[in-house]
Amino acid sequence: MRQITLLGPQRLEPTLIQAVRAQNISGKIATVTAGWQEREDEDRELHEHLESRTINLRLYDRVSRIFEHDPGLRDAFRTRQDRLKELQRFYRIRLDHVLQAARELVAIDEQSDLLDGHLASAIRDLQLLDEEHLENVRRIHEHYEHEVDPGGRDEVRRQRDEVRAILTDCDALAIAGGHVAILLNRLRLLDIPTASEGKPLFLWSAGAMAMSERIVLFHDSPPQGQGNPEVLEAGLGVVGGVVPLPHARRRLRLYDRSRVALFARRFSPATCVTLDEGSRVDMTDTGWQSTKGTRKLLETGEVKELSA
Amino acid sequence: MNRVSMEAFTHPLAVQELASRQDLSAEAVAQFIDEHTFPLVEGTSITFLYRGRADAVYLHQWIYGLPSAQPFHRLGDHDVWYLVQEIPEKSRFEYKLEVVQGDQHRLIQDPLNPQIARDPFGANSVCHGAGYEVPDWTEPDPEARTGRIERMIVQSKALGGRRMVSVYVPARFRPDRRYPLLIAHDGGDYLKFSGFKTVLDNLIHRLEIPSMIVALTHPRRRLREYADHEPHAAFIAEELLPALEFTYPLIDVDDARGLLGASFGAVAALSTAWRYPGKFGRLFLQSGSFAFTDIGPHSRGPAFDPVVEFVNGFRKNPIAVSEKIYLTCGVYESLIYENRSLLPILQGTGMEVKFVESRDGHNWENWRDTFRGGLSWLFPGPLWMVYE
């Protein structure tokens, strides 16, 4: 298994360099800051933090250039994104109702085998809806790939080759957070999972989400709406068995046992891991090691240290 | 919500226990005052207390429906006066004390209450009822990047002369990006009395609203310019907006363009949108002075004449002027009736309207407290998609 490190947010108290040193990485480090969108190149602090050893792959800029060279691909991409947004909207409407039933059941404080059965079914309903959504998303992607064949297009091939060449010279890849869908789309179009195969990975916030198996959007206290966690789509699947939860302290009501329990049960068997400032999970062949304060959501509604 | 007699309480309040003591000493009274903060909130009962020489003390609170001056009771023969009021949970209101000595009547802030709110006329004491908390997003957040306020001068033919406009430019502004625009009436007062810049910094930092440009206007003859004044609308739509579009990279669609105003400012916002339907896709109307008459004259004074004419006309022939309207009003304002009356008329035009009431009065902190709900509804931020 390749070495993968998940980290908490890096803006205020960066800990990336400690993680890099812990893995004895002394060479160049490729970085992806495409989630920052047009601020992609505002990476001086990151560069300095990593002892000026970074090379930014500039995926946001590369994809912009691909679209400039290949308007047909751009249009097909936009059409796909519109379809995905529409799909997400319909999924959200159904999710609201299914989730509400599960919430009401999980909030009942009674010992009853009948209640347990209904709650289990309600959670299964949720999981089925999520799975159906993932399948619908997959079909849209499949159709797009079949119709457009992005990997076979000249400018995409050229950019992929450049990225692969840069990565060959680097000892590791660090992927920052930002806009998770924009980041995911850039990583996918430039085939970063293949190009970075075997390289140690350092991932934080949306970077961790995009490389996971399933991207879960979440916020328990948004200014509008119920704060229903929702599946966006499958991630790139490089990080298995984890639902990364960046800024969990700020975004989740971790004291609310009902919500925590429901979250953990819905996404089981994956482990829902909080990634706050200072969090770190080193994933290796022998298992996971994490820093204090990196926690997991339990099906009991508790939130416990990941390494405990 | 009424002033209540002490006997009405099942459980004695702190001041009630104090008053019931026999041979109440000055030391005991002083100790009581030292041990409590005032106004003293005990559930929905709130005790106001004044210490000092007086012939009478009154509570003047800006709560529509209650007597404007409510008398305090003297505590024994001490120079201490108190009043207990029942206030619903999550209320917030502003008040002053009137202290009468001989023929002198002084209107003062509550000396025992450090909470004050400022407005263009000075400052009032503030009472926070049980369950009310100042929203954390109104306080400076050291993690939030801060925007800046720029000044621009607009030459106005419509209003005559040069008009200074303050412009909030968000942190990490980039000229190669396009931004939504909000034009705020009484912008200077929003900055001074509603902490608007801090709120914008925080909501943008929290991703609850997008990075946006906010133009903050400063009226000269407010009651005239804001009372359905055609030149004002022309200034906003035909002079200020183009000047902003020339100076800043703005998203050129109506749903990324909004107007904000409170009180007469809300009338100006609605009136401008009505004169330029479709131009501003987002309206945020706070405690609008939407006075109207069904029959006969109104009683709000001559400044309201053009407002009443406008609102009467709008009620008669309502049209969709925008896509979304966030309408707010405090239930302790006299204008709650007018705003509730306007709601179905706005909804009947097909516009998407959200109406939110607060337990507060006609003041700048009430309007501050509705910013998060209103701005995030009108201009939703990338909260769900961005994880930095």
Tell which residue, B210, B196, B206, B138, has the closest CA to residue B379.
Answer: B210
Q: Does A92 touch chain B (CB under 8 A)?
A: no
Q: Does B3 touch chain A (CB under 8 A)?
A: no
Across the interface, of A35, A39, A205, the residue whose CB is closest to B172 is: A39
Distance from CA of B193 to the nearest CA of A (A): 23
Q: Which residue has the tokens 């994490």?
A: A290
Q: Indicate if the pLDDT at residue B307 is higher than 80.
A: yes
**CA closest to A217 among chain B residues:** B384
Residues 6+ apart with CB under 8 A from A127: A266
- The whole-number average pLDDT for the span A254-267 is 96
What is residue A287's predicted lDDT score, i.e. its pLDDT?
86
Is the bond into B382 cis (omega within 30 degrees of 0)? no
Number of domains in chain A: 1
Domain that holds residue A142: 4-305
CB contact under 8 A, B172 and A246: no
Residues of chain B in contact with residue A179, where contact means CB-CB under 8 angstroms, are: 382, 385-386
Q: Indicate if the pLDDT at residue B7 is higher than 60.
A: no
pLDDT, one tens digit per residue, over B166-191 is 999 999 999 989 999 999 999 999 99
Q: Does B145 touch chain A (CB under 8 A)?
A: no
* For testing contact with chain A, the best of B177, B284, B387, B388 (most A CBs within 10 A): B387
What is residue A286's predicted lDDT score, i.e. its pLDDT?
82
Q: What angle do CA A274, A277, A279 make, to 5 degrees?
A: 50
What is residue B5's predicted lDDT score, i.e. its pLDDT?
46
> What is the rounded CA–CA span in Å between residue B217 and residue B222?
11
ipTM above 0.90, yes or no: yes
Q: Does A14 touch chain B (CB under 8 A)?
A: no
Cα→Cα distances A57→A160, A168, A189, Å: 10, 12, 13
Give the single-character DSSP code of A38: G
- SS3 string of chain B? CCECCHHHCCCCCHHHHHHHCCCCCHHHHHHHHHHCCCCEEECCEEEEEEECCCCEEEEEECCCCCCCCEECEECCCCCEEEEEEECCCCCEEEEEEEEEECCEEEEECCCCCCCEEEECCEEEEEEECCCCCCCHHHCCCCCCCCCEEEEEEEECCCCCCEEEEEEEECCCCCCCCCECEEEECCHHHHHHHCCHHHHHHHHHHCCCCCCCEEEEECCCCHHHHCCCCHHHHHHHHHHHHHHHHHHCCECCCHHHEEEEEECHHHHHHHHHHHHCCCCCCEEEEECCCCCCCCCCCCCCCHHHHHHHHHHHHHHHCCCCCCCEEEEEEECCCCCHHHHHHHHHHHHHCCCEEEEEEECCCCCHHHHHHCHHHHHHHHCCCCCCCEEC
Would you identify the CATH topology of the domain B6-128? Answer: Immunoglobulin-like (2.60.40)
CB neighbours (10 Å) of residue B34?
7
CB contact under 8 A, A223 and B373: yes
Q: Does B383 touch chain A (CB under 8 A)?
A: yes
Give the single-character DSSP code of A150: G
Cross-strand pairs, B288:
none
Q: Does A201 touch chain B (CB under 8 A)?
A: no
A residues 225..254 contacting B (CB < 8 A): 230, 246-247
CB contact under 8 A, A177 and B373: no
Written as six digits, the tokens of B88 are: 């619903």
Q: Does A38 touch chain B (CB under 8 A)?
A: yes
Rg (CA), chain B: 23
Q: Does A11 touch chain B (CB under 8 A)?
A: yes
What is residue A285's predicted lDDT score, i.e. its pLDDT?
76
Give the single-character DSSP code of A212: B
Give residue A234's identity as a one-letter amino acid code: A
Q: Does A223 touch chain B (CB under 8 A)?
A: yes
Distance from CA of A36 to the nearest CA of B (A): 8
- The whole-number average pLDDT for the span B15-28 is 90
What is residue B1's predicted lDDT score, i.e. its pLDDT?
44
| Spans of all domains in chain B | 6-128, 136-378
Average pLDDT, rounded, for chain B: 95
> What is the rounded CA–CA span in Å between residue A219 and residue A229?
7
Q: Calculate what percentage of chain B has a pLDDT beyond 70.
A: 97
Q: Does A206 touch chain B (CB under 8 A)?
A: yes
In which region does residue A301 sit, left (phi positive, over 0), alpha (psi from -120 to 50) or beta (all else)? left
> What is the rounded CA–CA span in Å between residue A183 and residue A236?
11
**CA closest to B386 among chain A residues:** A179
Across the interface, of A11, A180, A223, the residue whose CB is closest to B385 is: A180
What is residue B66's predicted lDDT score, i.e. its pLDDT?
87
- The whole-number average pLDDT for the span B113-121 is 94
Coil, helix or strand for A31? Answer: strand
CB neighbours (10 Å) of residue A191?
17
Distance from CA of A205 to the nearest CA of B (A): 5
pLDDT, one tens digit per residue, over A146-205 is 999 999 999 999 999 999 999 999 999 999 999 999 999 999 999 999 999 999 999 999
Tell which residue, A86, A16, A82, A40, has the closest CA to residue A183.
Answer: A40
Across the interface, of A38, A178, A230, the residue whose CB is closest to B386 is: A178
What is residue B28's predicted lDDT score, i.e. its pLDDT?
92
Q: What is the CATH number of domain B136-378?
A: 3.40.50.1820
Coil, helix or strand for A265? Answer: helix
> What is the rounded CA–CA span in Å between residue B22 and residue B50?
21
pLDDT, one tens digit per residue, over B70-110 is 999 999 999 999 999 999 999 999 999 999 999 999 999 99
pLDDT, one tens digit per residue, over B137-167 is 999 999 999 999 999 999 999 999 999 999 9
Residues of chain A in contact with residue B382, where contact means CB-CB under 8 angstroms, are: 179
Q: Alpha helix locations (H) across chain A? A: 16-22, 44-49, 59-69, 71-106, 113-148, 154-168, 180-189, 192-195, 206-210, 248-251, 257-267
Q: What angle do CA A35, A36, A39 make, to 5 degrees?
A: 150
Cross-strand pairs, A279:
none
Tell which residue, A194, A230, A217, A188, has the closest CA to residue A34.
Answer: A188
What is residue B10's predicted lDDT score, i.e. its pLDDT?
62
What is residue A308's predicted lDDT score, i.e. its pLDDT?
62
> What is the rounded CA–CA span in Å between residue B388 and residue B144?
13
pLDDT, one tens digit per residue, over B194-228 is 999 999 999 999 999 999 999 999 999 999 999 99
Q: Does A181 touch chain B (CB under 8 A)?
A: yes
Could you tell me the CATH number of the domain that includes residue A73?
3.40.50.880
CB contact under 8 A, B387 and A181: no
Coil, helix or strand for A227? Answer: coil
Tell which residue, B326, B381, B377, has the closest CA to residue B354.
Answer: B326
Residues 6+ apart with CB under 8 A from A39: A33, B172, B174
Residues of chain B in contact with residue A279, where contact means CB-CB under 8 angstroms, are: none
